[in-house]
Each structure stands twice: as C-alpha cells, then as structure tokens.
Structure 1
Amino acid sequence: MTGFSLPSTIPDGREETSRQAINSALTAIRQHLGMPIAYISEFVDGESVFRYVDAPGLENLIKPGDSRDLTDVYCLHILEGRLPELIPDTSKNPLALAMPITREIPIGAHMSIPIRLVDGTPYGMFCCLSPEANTSLNDRDLETMRLFANLAAQQIDKDYEERRILEEKRERILETLNTSAFAIAYQPIVDLGRMHPSGYEALCRFSAEPYRSPDVWFDEAAAVGLSV
C-alpha cells in the first residue's frame, strides 16, 4: 500500500488552546505598547509567513496566512544586526527609511524579537508596529516584549515537538503498511453446544521491530489519522 500523504497535526483541542495562548500574548503586548499591529511570523522557503496576527480593523494590511519575501521586510536585517530590535522612529534610521515597505505600509515605529526554537533554529519574529513614530518606546518596553516573545516561543516549541513525535509515529505506521509488516489471523468462535461457528475473530499480528502489542499500533495509527 502506497500513496499516503495525510498530515500529522496536533489534536484540535490542544491546537486551539495553543493558538488562543499565543493570540492572547499578542493582544496583551500590542495593547501595552499602544501599537495597532502585532504578529508572529515564520520563516518558510525565503518568505516571512504571518502565522498569528492581532490587528483589529487592519485586516486589509495583514492577516494570518499572508506572506512577504524576506528580502522585502526587516527580519533578516534584525537577525543579522543591521537593524535594531527597537526602532521608535523609522525616519531616523537610514536603512529602514530606504526600504520600500516602510513607506508602503507605512511603518513609523517598529519592535521585533527573533523567535528561536529550543535547538537554536530561527523560527520567525515576534513583532509590533505602528504607522506613526512612537518616541516614548524604550528599552524597558523592549524587555517586556522579549518576555512575551519568549512565552510564545515556548508554546511554539511545544507544538513543534508534538508535531515531530506525531510525524515519527506516522512514518512508522506508513512503513509498516508499505512493507506489509503485519498479518491477520482468522479463527472461528464456536458454539460448543451445537458444535457450530457462531462468529469469527480477526487478530492482527505485527512483525516490525521492536515488538509492540497490537493495541499500541492501532492507537498510534488513530493518533495520525491512519486507523482505517
């Protein structure tokens, strides 16, 4: 059997709880800083993909699933130290001022913290921005935002780890299916009074190593959407 391509995902309840926690962090920091847009982006194939967005009334500018080329946004410049994490007034920073996106959005004030997974891999950015400059923003605000970014990073890392475990289970199930590393034994259930079969039992036996009982195999298959 081949051709399975079902994605492994976090269970719906767990995923919704995670999303709510991250969205709450974005709302809290956006309101604390008095900025209209907060978001978390993920780096995917040379693009910054907006995964979580809190920008009430500005959905025409940014919404979850939107993306921009990394060469067009501030992210890489911040990661590589060419732009600071805190820019209270973009008109005072020559590089930010020269970037077309600063005028396009527009961006007057910008704060951004890189998000890294536990293993150090860059995931994306935790950002707040405003179309107007905000010279009241300071290092204390940046540290507060860093705290929220770290909390979001912990949640994202948990989600990544859970997806990684699910993917391992999925690959194990697919390998078992594709190599037919199991056999079905059929046996009758006999009515001894009439000496006649009253039903049949089908038992699945797995030959993959290391040995695991059938209930474990079926539970893992169900967890990754491959039970049938």
Structure 2
Amino acid sequence: MAANPLEELLKVPDEESESNLDELLESVRRHLNMEVAFLSEITDGKRIFRYVSADSGRQEIPIRGHGDECEKTYCKRILDGVLPPIIRDTQENAITASLPVTEELGIGSYAGVPVYLKDNRVYGTLCCYDSSPAEYLSDRDLGFLHVVAATIGQLMRKKVERDERIAESTHRIKSVAETNNLQLRFQPVVDADNSQVLFYETLARFNSSPYRPPNEWIDEAESVGLGIYIESLILLKALEHLALAEESQLLVKLSLNVSPNLMLNGNLFALLEGIDPNALVLEITEHTEIDDYSVFARKLQPLVDKGLEIAIDDVGSGFASLRHIIELEPDIIKLDMNLIRAIEGDTKRQALVAALVAFAESSEIQTVAEGVETQAELDTLKGLGVSNFQGYFFARPEEFSTIIERAKATSRGG
C-alpha cells in the first residue's frame, strides 16, 4: 500500500482572504511615504513577520514568516515603552543606533504601534520604516497608525479565534488517529431472503467523553478543512480490516462512504493502491455536489474497469443523489432510511420507491433499502420490488472480528 498521506491533510489552509491586509499595509506604507510596512506577531518570545509590504526597489526586505528573538527587535522595545512609537532618525537614538537589526534591515526611520486583540491582549505590532531619516513624521501620523492598528486588531482577532478553533479541532481529530478512539463497525446488506450477504457497510464509531455521534465529528472535521483527512483515516482502517480477511483467505466485501472531494483530490487512489477493487463498493454521499461529472467519472473509470462497484447513498433525500444516479450510472442505489421509515402507511413514499425501483430495474441497477427495522416495512418493500436490505431488522453493526469468525465457521461447514 502507498505511504500514509494523512499528515499532509492535517495542514489546513487559511480560508481568510489575505488580500485585505496586504492592501491595507500597502496603503499605510504609501501614506507615510516609507519603504516597508509590516504586521508582526509576538509569540513564544519571538517577533514573527506575518504580513509585509515593501517598495519594489528595496533590497533588504523582512521575510514573511521569519522570526527573531524579541529582545533583538524594535517591536518588543516599543511594546515595553523603551522606545518611542516614532523614531525619525535611528542614528540619533542611542538604543536603535546600537541594535544590529538597524544595520541588517537598513532602518533609517521607524514608526510602530501595538496591535491588540480583545481584552487588551497584544497580538503584535504594526510598523513602518525607511532607509532614510523621516523628520516629517508627526503625531497625526501616529494617530493614523493607531486607527489602522485598531482595525487590524479586529481582523486578526477573528483570524486568531479561527486559528485557535482549528488548532483545538485538529488536536482532537489527530488524537483519534493516534489512539484507539476511532473504531469501525460493519452492517450487512442482505438479499431478499436474508440468505446471502452482498457486502458490509463500514460505519465509524468515535469513543469520546462526553459521547458525540459520528456525524458531529465529521461535521467538525469538515468545518476546519479536515473532512478529507477524517474520511481517509476511516478508509485506511477499513482497508486494514480487509487485509485481515485476506490473510485468513476469506472473501469479505466492504462498502466505504466517500465524498466526491476525496475522489477528486487524488488521495483516494493513493489509499486504494494495491487493493483488490472487487472487494470494495464505494458509496458516493449525497451531501457534496459534483461540479463536473465528466471529470469525476474519468477519474473513477480505471477503478471501475477493474471491478469496483459504485453505490449512490441516501437516494431520495435530495436532488444531488438523483443527479448522481443519472450522471454516474452506478451499480447500486441505496434508498434513504427516511424514505423507508413506516413506509407501509405512506402511499406517497411507496409510489416514490416504486418509481425508483422501476428506474433501477430498467437500468440494471440493484436497489438497497436502508434502515429497515420492522416486518411491515420489509413486506411493503418486497412488494414494491426492492431486492436488497440493510437495517436492525436483519443485523446491528458488529465488530469485524465477529464477521471473520462467522466466515471461518461457515468455511468449515460449522
């Protein structure tokens, strides 16, 4: 199997647009007629350049993301009140004249003010400097910097809060990957006579205190850009179970819920490298739209050619799943459990299921009714032509070890 690509998926991209801050720094620099403007963050004893705007002719430019010890910087001294916020000529100030950074960056004049988050917590500094003295700098310019710094503080507060939320969520999600808090259960999909298991659907279970249902974990992961990561983690664990079955020379087929995004970003194919496609059914979820079906189908075709089956999940819950059926020509459609619940007493839902079954039969697509819990539901669905079933009426989700032991007993004729 290919090397584990999950670590790359933990690198969450910043969703905030950076153009506003870049443009704001450019305006500040031009307004003060100085060569460089930057926003720094003070963290863990370091001053880090987060945003930089510089004149195109300037050679010594701060490197964005570069950090220096605070004690070596103007920023720390301005925050501590050791340096004034405006230094018109750095050579006339004994402190700045002696600091190595003055020569390293070619600082002739400087202006800087603190940037505060809420509760007066310091984020860093908003600073400008030029290679030449700037005797024209005034209290009015200082007031302008304070106003801009207050605006930036509001912008950065939202970004910091988002970053902290991402960090907390990433830690929780990563802890799942590194511990045994994520476990899988498997629920069979059976034929009409309950005599044959077509495949087992893979279901995630997150052990946490307090307990949170799987959809909340997945929603949290998606909200911070880690939806593909958690999907990949579940898929990897499922493939480990398949490998156990293969070692025991047992044929077990699993279905895996995957989003279109997981397929389109290429990570799916890396994860499935070396896996027998005949042992898998990929269930395409309803919840993510596919922008370009032709691209999606083209990426999927090599696996389909090798025997991979495609199922459309949650059919009947929304428009996306119906379009998936038309565009992707699946092998299986799975009728949403909300369509199945107490269907024996609902003629409208019966008519919808009958229409979906007729369409499936004409297209040589198998149907699976999800969430079957009662004999009345089963009898009604059979009468409507549904051919396969899944739900508590047949079996609850179980551990893979139970499936393996049952398969071994069957192979021994036990």
Q: TM-score, normalised by structure 1?
A: 0.82
Aligned Cα root-mean-square deviation (Å): 2.7
Alpha-carbon separation, structure 2, partners of 1:10 and 1:153: 23
Task: Give the total of aligned pairs.
Answer: 222
Alignment of 1:53 with 2:59, yes or no, is no
- Higher RCO, 1 vs 2 (CA within 8 Å, ≥6 residues apart): 1
> Which stretches in structure 2 are left out of the alignment for 5+ residues?
1-5, 233-414
Alpha-carbon separation, structure 2, partners of 1:7 and 1:124: 29
Deviation string, structure 1 residues 138-178 (Cα, Å, up to 9, x no partner): 11111111111122222222111112112222222234444
Alpha-carbon separation, structure 1, partners of 2:53 and 2:170: 33
Deviation string, structure 1 residues 22-42 (Cα, Å, up to 9, x no partner): 111100110111111101122
> Which stretches in structure 1 are left out of the alignment for 5+ residues?
none
Q: Which residues of 2 match residues 136-147 of structure 1 at below 5 A?
A: 136-147=136-147
Alpha-carbon separation, structure 1, partners of 2:103 and 2:180: 59
Letter in 2 for 1:51: R
Contact 2:39–2:125 (8 Å) recurs in 1: yes
Alpha-carbon separation, structure 2, partners of 1:49 and 1:145: 19
Q: Which residues of 2 match residues 43-192 of structure 1 at below 5 A?
A: 43-57=42-56, 58-192=58-192
Alignment of 1:199 with 2:162, yes or no, is no
Q: Structure 1 residues 146, 180: closer, same or farther in 2, change over 3 A?
A: same
Deviation string, structure 1 residues 112-144 (Cα, Å, up to 9, x no partner): 011233243333211001111222211111111
Alignment of 1:30 with 2:29, yes or no, is yes
Letter in 2 for 1:73: T
- The answer for the alignment partner of 1:41 in structure 2 is 40
Contact 2:36–2:61 (8 Å) recurs in 1: no
Contact 1:176–1:208 (8 Å) recurs in 2: no
Q: Structure 1 residues 7, 146: closer, same or farther in 2, change over 3 A?
A: farther
Q: Structure 1 residues 45, 5: closer, same or farther in 2, change over 3 A?
A: farther
Alpha-carbon separation, structure 2, partners of 1:86 and 1:111: 4
Alignment of 1:21 with 2:20, yes or no, is yes
Q: Structure 1 residues 130, 182: closer, same or farther in 2, change over 3 A?
A: closer
Deviation of the 1:11 alpha carbon? 4.1
Structure of larger gyration radius: 2
Alpha-carbon separation, structure 2, partners of 1:7 and 1:200: 27
Give the structure with the higher percent helix: 2
Contact 1:40–1:126 (8 Å) recurs in 2: yes
Alpha-carbon separation, structure 2, partners of 1:8 and 1:123: 25
Q: Structure 1 vs Structure 2: percent identity of aligned residues?
A: 32
Give the structure with the higher percent strand: 1
Q: TM-score, normalised by structure 2?
A: 0.48
